Amino acid sequence: MRLVVTSDTHGLHDKVDRLPDGDVLVHAGDFMNSGYDVQDIVSFNRWLGDQPFKHRLVCGGNHDRYFENAPQLARELLTNATYLENTGITLDGVTFWGSPYTPEFLNWAFMYPRGSGERYWELIPDDLDVLITHGPPLGILDQTAPKEAHLGCAELFDVVKRKKPRVHIFGHIHGGAGTFENETTRFINAAYLNERYKPLPPAGKIHIVDISLQNLERTP
């Protein structure tokens, strides 16, 4: 199974270059801009429908306010993807679970007071293949720039360390875009826009993950 992965397009999905071929398109949140304009969802849903994937998975992010403020309507408009909000799905034997929540920062959506995220992350299933969260775990691809503060979630880090998903996809901290691997998990900060909301390094890349039930193959 080939995953094509992105995040944090902030209403600029139509500007994304042609996506690589794959089986599952994953978007890790912040597909809206301010989060109040329902046309952002309509446009994003149209774009999703134009992408030739067997499956499309989406979780929200802190900019996707409509999914918190008017969840039923928002979900009804997102017809071309499976929306994950503290929920999971199994596709061709590969398990996925997604959540939009991040530590509190200003007045955005899906936020919790820093230090209180465990109630969300304990919901992550054991023996999970692919974890999709909007925000990063503490200390992993979670800085706006080198030598800046780490902005990820400590409780998420602890649960990921314990539950060991094979792949962890996120975004949110644009300056942390990139990949990192330890002995159990491949981490991908898939933010498409950088801290100035431009598709430029360290962002601006669409990531590919080849995953099977037997092993995890790595694509350059």
Encode pLDDT of 106-127 as tens digits. 889 999 999 999 999 999 999 9
213 confidence band (pLDDT: 50, 70, 90):
low
pLDDT at 216: 45
Beta-strand runs (E) in 53-106: 55-59, 82-84, 87-91, 94-99, 102-103
Nearest to 132 by CA among 56, 202, 24, 29: 29
Position 214 pLDDT exceeds 70? no
Q: Looking at residues 102-107, what average pLDDT do you find?
A: 93
Within 10 Å of residue 120's Cβ, how many Cβ atoms?
20
* Longest alpha-carbon distance in the chain: 43
Locus of tokens 């933010």: 191
Position 215 pLDDT exceeds 70? no
pLDDT in tens, 123-167: 999 999 999 999 999 999 999 999 999 999 999 999 999 999 999
C-alpha distances in angstroms, 144 versus 116, 134, 135, 148? 22, 15, 13, 6
DSSP SS3 for 169? strand
pLDDT in tens, 18-58: 899 999 999 999 999 999 999 999 999 999 999 999 999 99
CATH number, domain with residue 179? 3.60.21.10
Within 10 Å of residue 54's Cβ, how many Cβ atoms?
11
pLDDT at 115: 95
Classify the C-alpha dihedral 187-44-202-206 as positive or negative. positive
Distance CA 98, CA 75 (A): 15
C-alpha distances in angstroms, 175 versus 171, 180, 187? 9, 14, 15
pLDDT at 166: 97
pLDDT in tens, 157-206: 999 999 999 999 999 999 999 999 999 999 999 999 999 999 999 999 99
Q: Containing domain of residue 151, as a range?
A: 2-217
Number of domains in the chain: 1
